[in-house]
Structure 1
Amino acid sequence: MGESTVTPLEGRDQAVPQSVAAGDRERRFARFRSPRRPRLWFEILLIAVSYWTYSLIRNAVPEQRSEALRNADWIWRVEHHLGLAFEHSVNHTVNSVTWLIVGMNYYYATLHFIITLTVLVWLYRSHPGRYAATRLVLFATTAVALVGYYFYPLAPPRLMTGGHFVDTVMVHRTWGSMASGDLKHMSNQYAAMPSMHIGWSLWCGLTIFALARLPWVRILGLLYPVVTLTVIVATANHFWLDAVGGIICLTFGFTVAALWYGAVPYSLPRRVPPRGRGGALLPTKA
């Protein structure tokens, strides 16, 4: 009779726990990355702390006025070289229509926050499965913008030496703006690159366009960043190249979210998938 081969129990007992442990680690990591139902108290606290931290860091960056003015002159020269230095004309043209420029001043001072928070609330209520991933885009975009503020101080056009731009908030005494006037010392005036007015408004616009059902609402979503670009230029708070910086930051934000969740946030299920035994995700409809 031939000899039978016997697998030592000792080796088999060692292999099984190792594979089980590896599987447990993978499942825990997968659960950590998978969409979860957002908790209201946590989201309110997270947004409040995050914005406070963002403002603290942004305003703690040294203003570096001389370097910021030199960078502004360089940006202005580049735009002239490209034949796209239109900010001065837009600023003076819109400033000649008082009701329009005052409206834009209030738009610049308020909608930046109101629309962004409104979209976050809408996501929380109507798209909980996509909320965390889409919120991550916004947070990553804002975080990388802080790097730009630190390493590239930039004066807005209205503060350029000899730029002859109109500081529309000062001229028309718009209440509540931190761009200039009595509140200007509460905000770093030389953190113009990148423009988070564009980064945030484009995030809002793309989110509305991708997820809203009514066609006219989706169109408004696309128009919002376009109008915002007009406003930041007309009020002389940004160069159009600052908007390009905001778009680059937003691209970074989408990349981070896509890598973390393994998909574009808008393609994730609308509702949070239910969990079976052991926390495994069950299939759900989008």
Structure 2
Amino acid sequence: MADTLPIMTVPIEEPQWNSGAAWKLPGWAEPVMVAGILIGSMMLTRRKGYKLFDRRRTQYGLLGEEPDSARSSDDFIAGRCMIDNDHTDDVSVDSMSTSKQPPKKRRCCGATIYTPNTSRFAGHLHSRIMSKFPFLMEMFYWIVTYAFYRSTALLSQAIFSKTAIWDIAQDHGLAVLEFEQFSWLSFLWPVREQDVQQWFMHGHQTFLTVLNRSYALIHIPGTVGFIAWYYYVAPSHNTFAIVRRTMTLTNLFAFIIFIFYPCMPPRLLPQEYGFLDSVGHNNGQSVWMKGKYVNALAAMPSMHFGYSFCIGCTMLYHSGIFRKTLEPGEKRKGRAWSLFYILLGIAYPCWILITIVATANHYYLDAFAAFFVVILAYTCNRIFLVLLPLEDLLLWCLRLEKPYPSTGDRFRVRAPRP
């Protein structure tokens, strides 16, 4: 490493920052923005016609019938949903010994597991709130994911407590630069990251200011907004759940790498390597990028690009152009809308790639690794179904019935009223 460091340094004088600093949002603005997206989505995807304080049978689900409480929405996801007309609010019936509330039968690692049926709790107020606003379940999943991310910095520091984690992360960052410039794959990156940022710094700083603000604001609010939007417009909950599980597993894989392979982003490398922390210099930091629990040494892989690639692929699928047959109830989109989704599916990952490189928050190799992490996560996304028994037990402890998803309700054919 020491022999190659002088070659990798870039003796470029830092230019003056001529553009006006980006308008800095107050600390409460972004949390309020995310909360607004979640609350708005919760209202948009609410189950219409379902009354919180009406304990009578509520008509919802396919053909006006209620879904089987002994099955979860993830079973519906897998296309194995069954209909049960014997659903009851009688909470005095033992679900482990009656036909009306049989135990849930799960397959986990080749074994059959029976878990408690929570349908007896369907009449509880918190269960009815979840049934009215099923998107609350998705909010719970992402809160758990975000909490795990917040712990990666602490876990990584604990693992490298006997060594200087900052020096290790810097060595990893320099190793990435060395690999990009001197490995047999160097032809994939003909323009160095330093040259990309310097192009923006010399004569295009206003554009760089836009990228700084994009980096700060798009990642969390944009991703949350996408999840909320796709929960509503996805042709089926099966399709939505595949996307959600893929993004969640992408998170998990990336978090494991963050813990065991801390990597310093280009903007934090010593100045002689030619990078500038343009986001910090431009006062464009996000509130989500601050605090002692934020992992500043989590460059590899790039979750910004991983999310954008997953979103882009979803947009291409949603356009319907690349599918010969549509899902049941899905309507063929017009050419204008199909073209819009295709362009957005291509432009969004490209925009994020330019953003993370120009702002020196990631290396090319970070995005390259994120691409394969997403592919792996998509291939293995059903692995999360092994956690269903644990979810059943948690819901039982909370005395909560899992809500039936409202995704795709607008496509379903309802039975005519007599």
TM-score by length of 2: 0.51
Q: In structure 1, which of residues 109, 134, 137 is the aligned counterpart of residue 246 of structure 2?
A: 137
The CA deviation at 1:166 is 1.0
The CA deviation at 1:34 is 2.2
State the alpha-carbon separation in 2 of the partners of residues 201 and 149 from structure 1. Answer: 19
State the alpha-carbon separation in 2 of the partners of residues 28 and 170 from structure 1. Answer: 49
Q: In structure 2, which of residues 191, 209, 222 is the aligned counterpart of residue 115 of structure 1?
A: 222
Deviations 1:123-153 (A, max 9, x none): 2112242122211011111001111111211
Indicate the residue corresponding to 1:99 in structure 2. 206
Indicate the residue corresponding to 1:170 in structure 2. 280
Aligned partners of 1:95 and 1:234 also within 8 Å:
no
Indicate the residue corresponding to 2:119 in structure 1. none
Partner SS state of residue 244, structure 2? helix
Identity of aligned residues (%): 25
The one-letter code of the counterpart of 2:152 is I
Partner SS state of residue 380, structure 2? helix
Partner SS state of residue 155, structure 1? coil
Partner SS state of residue 341, structure 2? helix
Aligned partners of 1:158 and 1:236 also within 8 Å:
yes
Q: In structure 1, which of residues 68, 90, 94 is the aligned counterpart of residue 169 of structure 2?
A: 68
The CA deviation at 1:171 is 2.2
State the alpha-carbon separation in 1 of the partners of residues 353 and 345 from structure 2. Answer: 14
Aligned partners of 2:257 and 2:300 also within 8 Å:
yes
Q: In structure 2, which of residues 249, 263, 280 is the aligned counterpart of residue 154 of structure 1?
A: 263
For 1:208-223, what aligned pairs fall within 5 Å after superposition?
Answer: 208-212=315-319, 213=333, 214=337, 215-223=339-347
State the alpha-carbon separation in 1 of the partners of residues 175 and 358 from structure 2. Answer: 20
Deviations 1:150-207 (A, max 9, x none): 121111111112312111023222253655xxx3645221111010001111111111
Q: In structure 2, which of residues 175, 178, 181 is the aligned counterpart of residue 80 of structure 1?
A: 181
Partner SS state of residue 273, structure 2? coil
The CA deviation at 1:101 is 1.2
> Which one has the bigger helix percentage?
1
Q: In structure 1, which of residues 181, 196, 202 is the aligned counterpart of residue 303 of structure 2?
A: 196
Aligned partners of 2:257 and 2:301 also within 8 Å:
yes
State the alpha-carbon separation in 2 of the partners of residues 175 and 198 from structure 1. Answer: 18
The CA deviation at 1:32 is 6.8
Indicate the residue corresponding to 1:236 in structure 2. 360
The one-letter code of the counterpart of 2:257 is G
State the alpha-carbon separation in 1 of the partners of residues 277 and 221 from structure 2. Answer: 23
Aligned partners of 1:198 and 1:225 also within 8 Å:
yes
Question: Tell me, which stretches of 5 or more residues in structure 2 are unaligned?
Answer: 1-69, 82-130, 320-332, 386-406, 413-418
**Closer, same or farther in 2 for the Cα pair 1:256/1:243, shift >3 Å?**
same
